[in-house]
A and B are shown apart, each in its own frame.
Chain A
Amino acid sequence: MTAEPLIDTDITPRTDGTDERRGRFARLLDSDIMASFLASKLTVLAGFVTFAFLIIALFAPLIAPFNPFDPAQVFLIDARDPPIWMAGSDPRFLLGTDDQGRDMLSALFYGLRVSLLIGGLGVLLSALIGVTLGLIAGYAGGRIDALIMRIADIQLTFPAILIALLVDGVVHALLKSGGREDTAFGVMVLSIGLSFWVQYARTVRGSTLVERNKDYVHAARLIGLRSPQILWRHVLPNVLGPVLVIATINLALAVITEATLSFLGVGLPPTQPSLGTLIRIGNAYLFSGEWWIVAFPGITLAVLVIAVNMLGDWLRDALNPRLR
């Protein structure tokens, strides 16, 4: 192992014209990562779509034409109106209405909000669990390491969706199942968090094994810092790079998992629909020809997942020095 120099000895003048006085944003536009981002038109498109979806999700209550959860704005008489370009449509509802007379477009906006929120929180929770366990396993070594990694191995043999289903069932059983409606959101985040932690743990453990023998960690130990502090302040920032890539790719997986569980009827209830719940509702009307109730949430979910996946692929390639 080569020792890292303690101070930055690189004194060659910058030739690319980067100036410290320019703002952060300008420097970001100039960086390698940005260049590789702009190099692929598809990636830019994917980034744009993801960004647009995030904005919609964030501001859904402000930009949706209706509030689909406000009983005062929803009338059964409007139920199952087709989109605006078809015969028999109502000009108020751009994409038609669902079985309860809710505006499809508004339901979509709110559904996107719920889906992305659960996906994001689920990814955050799984990253939190995974990174913590990975740090502990890599730093402590020995029996603790063996135990954590053994559990990870066992969990890895099961598909994540199965774990999520199981966690969902168990937690609902423990909560006596009665309060499915108000606990559904938390249970969903928990199932996703517990299903996807393994990958983070394995990656972080690997990098921690490398980092813990470096000089700066020895130095930190020498001046008497305690292990949690060393892990948190010194090791963690150095192992976070790959975590970002996994998190991006897992966001797509988390959204799919949530949608699947909701579609299967063990996720979010119709009173608080995510994209998956909307698809489940619409699926019932597939045979009667009211295709728009299932098509729009379905397309939205597909576009979202593909866009996030493409971003994740790009991020992985851009941050992986071996592929440069």
Chain B
Amino acid sequence: MLAFILRRLGSAAIVLIFVGVLAFILFRYVGDPVNQMVGIDTSIADRDRLRESLGLNDSVIVQALRFLGHAAMFDFGVSYQFKRPVAELLIERMPATLELSLISALLSLVIGIPMGVASALGKDRWYAKLLQAVSLAGISLPTFLIGILFIYLFSVTLRWFPSFGRGDTVKLGTYWTTGLLTSSGLRALILPAMTLALFQMTLIMRLVRSEMLEVLRSDHIRFARARGLPARSINFRHALKNSLVPVITVAGLQLGSVIAFATITETVFQWPGMGLLFLQSVQNVDVPIMAAYLLFVAAMFVAINLVVDILYLAVDPRLKTTSKAH
């Protein structure tokens, strides 16, 4: 068990270092850091002095190591467009993205699982077919199109929810601002959260459906039927419980994608999160932000994968024996 975790930690570190080197290459060789920082009227001597003081004349290895060292301390330099430390900008916008993503992930579970159960149990009924059709649309349609549709329906036509922004926010502690405690914040959250959740929701629905159908065919369910247990107990206590393990894994692994996909949703709804910041940095070639966001996403994916692996080990005892055998 410990060896397994150590091995996973090792490979996680390799991934992070690889992405870190990539981020360094991005940072150092895409655009000239000095030219981005100074005005056009800065003399060449001043530029050279700045270049020297930034350490850009050192050898590449030294620079790369320094970059990685700084990155490990969450120091990613100064944004070209905002002239502020990148870490500060990211931390400022992190709560908005995390709140949006977590609520979406929760929504997709809370709505997706019952939808999957319904479409598995009523396999040939009309509502199951309707759900299948909806899921095809949900899995095919691009996020931004769904966002536009929602805005047109619920903001422009029905005027139920605002179409942009985060509403009023409340400060919790030094770093965290939340929109979950004000009514305008909650109203602003609904459309973007639904938009972001729809893809995961259909994914989870399809997964639950296929897992349920699989489990319902298995022997222990047939045995439970033979014992004369009521249908509700068979469907929910036996079948659903057994089909949820892979669902939890996928939902966990997808959490990273939700945060990454938030970029699109945040742009459609002008949600002031990290994704919007990243997109602006791509548009304006703000390399420090791009590099930092890349590293952030990598770290997040690695962490999520690690947690899911360890949880899996805890949930499924069969894995423990195989990991020992290796």
Which of B139, B282, B302 contacts A169, CB < 8 Å?
A: B282
B170 to chain A, nearest CB (A): 29
Is A294's CB within 8 Å of the partner chain B?
Answer: yes
B156 lies within 8 A of A286 (CB): yes
**With A157-B298, A166-B294, A173-B285: A283-B137 Cβ-Cβ less than 8 Å:** no
CA distance A21 to B325 in the complex (A): 60
B283 to chain A, nearest CB (A): 6
CA distance A83 to B145 in the complex (A): 21
Looking at B140, B149, B294, B297, the one whose CB has the most chain A CB atoms below 10 A away is B140
CA distance A306 to B15 in the complex (A): 35
Q: What 0/1 pattern do residues 121 to 156 of B give for CB contact below 8 A with A?
A: 000000000000000110111111100110110001
A279 lies within 8 A of B136 (CB): no
User: How many residues belonging to B are interface residues under a CB distance threshold of 8 Å?
Assistant: 42
Which of B58-66, B69-77, B176-184, B257-265 is the contact stretch? B257-265
Is B236's CB within 8 Å of the partner chain A?
Answer: no
Please name the residue on chain A nearest to B281 by beta carbon. A169
Interface residues of A in 31-73 (CB under 8 A from B): none
Interface residues of B in 62-104 (CB under 8 A from A): none
A173 lies within 8 A of B142 (CB): no
B15 lies within 8 A of A154 (CB): yes
**With A309-B136, A309-B140: A162-B263 Cβ-Cβ less than 8 Å:** yes
Instruction: Give the chain A neighbours of B148 by CB distance below 8 A.
Output: 279, 283, 286, 294, 298
B301 to chain A, nearest CB (A): 4
B206 to chain A, nearest CB (A): 12
Looking at B145, B148, B149, B257, the one whose CB has the most chain A CB atoms below 10 A away is B145
Which of B141, B149, B260, B282 contacts A159, CB < 8 Å?
A: B260
**With A159-B260, A286-B148: A256-B142 Cβ-Cβ less than 8 Å:** yes
Which of B15, B31, B156, B264 contacts A173, CB < 8 Å?
A: B31
Which of A125-133, A203-211, A263-271 is the contact stretch? A263-271
Interface residues of A in 254-301 (CB under 8 A from B): 256, 259-260, 263-266, 279, 283, 286-287, 289, 291, 294, 298, 301
B2 to chain A, nearest CB (A): 23
Looking at A264, A266, A306, A310, the one whose CB has the most chain B CB atoms below 10 A away is A264
CA distance A177 to B30 in the complex (A): 11
B314 to chain A, nearest CB (A): 22
Interface residues of B in 199-236 (CB under 8 A from A): none
CA distance A165 to B261 in the complex (A): 11
Instruction: Give the chain B neighbours of A140 by CB distance below 8 A.
Output: none
B293 to chain A, nearest CB (A): 9
Please name the residue on chain B nearest to A180 by beta carbon. B283
Is A170's CB within 8 Å of the partner chain B?
Answer: yes
How many residue pairs at the A-B interface have CB separations less than 8 Å? 100
B297 lies within 8 A of A158 (CB): yes
A287 lies within 8 A of B290 (CB): no
Is B19's CB within 8 Å of the partner chain A?
Answer: yes
Interface residues of B in 272-302 (CB under 8 A from A): 278-279, 281-283, 285, 287, 290, 294, 297-298, 301-302
B192 to chain A, nearest CB (A): 15
Is A188's CB within 8 Å of the partner chain B?
Answer: no
B144 lies within 8 A of A165 (CB): no
Is A172's CB within 8 Å of the partner chain B?
Answer: yes
Which of B151, B283, B305 contacts A266, CB < 8 Å?
A: B283
Is A161's CB within 8 Å of the partner chain B?
Answer: yes
Looking at B19, B256, B283, the one whose CB has the most chain A CB atoms below 10 A away is B283
B31 to chain A, nearest CB (A): 5
B199 to chain A, nearest CB (A): 11
A264 to chain B, nearest CB (A): 6
CA distance A170 to B293 in the complex (A): 14
A305 lies within 8 A of B140 (CB): yes
CA distance A260 to B263 in the complex (A): 11
**With A154-B19, A260-B143: A159-B30 Cβ-Cβ less than 8 Å:** no
B260 lies within 8 A of A158 (CB): yes
B264 lies within 8 A of A259 (CB): no
A128 to chain B, nearest CB (A): 22
Interface residues of A in 157-192 (CB under 8 A from B): 157-159, 161-162, 165-166, 168-170, 172-174, 177
Is B18's CB within 8 Å of the partner chain A?
Answer: yes
Is B26's CB within 8 Å of the partner chain A?
Answer: yes
Instruction: Give the chain A neighbours of B195 by CB distance below 8 A.
Output: none
A286 lies within 8 A of B19 (CB): no
Instruction: Give the chain A neighbours of B108 by CB distance below 8 A.
Output: none
Please name the residue on chain A nearest to B301 by beta carbon. A157
CA distance A170 to B31 in the complex (A): 9
Please name the residue on chain A nearest to B18 by beta carbon. A154
Which of A157, A177, A266, A298 contacts B145, CB < 8 Å?
A: A298
Instruction: Give the chain B neighbours of A162 by CB distance below 8 A.
Output: 260, 263, 297
Please name the residue on chain B nearest to A265 by beta carbon. B283
Is B119's CB within 8 Å of the partner chain A?
Answer: no
Is A252's CB within 8 Å of the partner chain B?
Answer: yes
Q: Contacts A265-B283, A279-B148 given; 8 further ones with Cβ under 8 A?
A: A154-B18, A159-B260, A170-B26, A266-B283, A279-B145, A283-B148, A301-B145, A302-B140
The 19 listed contacts between A and B (C-beta, < 8 Å) are A157-B301, A158-B301, A159-B257, A159-B261, A166-B294, A169-B282, A169-B290, A173-B287, A177-B285, A252-B140, A256-B142, A259-B142, A260-B142, A264-B144, A264-B263, A279-B145, A286-B152, A287-B156, A298-B145
B residues with CB within 8 A of A = 15, 18-19, 26, 30-31, 136-137, 139-145, 148-149, 151-152, 156, 163, 256-257, 260-261, 263-264, 267, 278-279, 281-283, 285, 287, 290, 294, 297-298, 301-302, 305
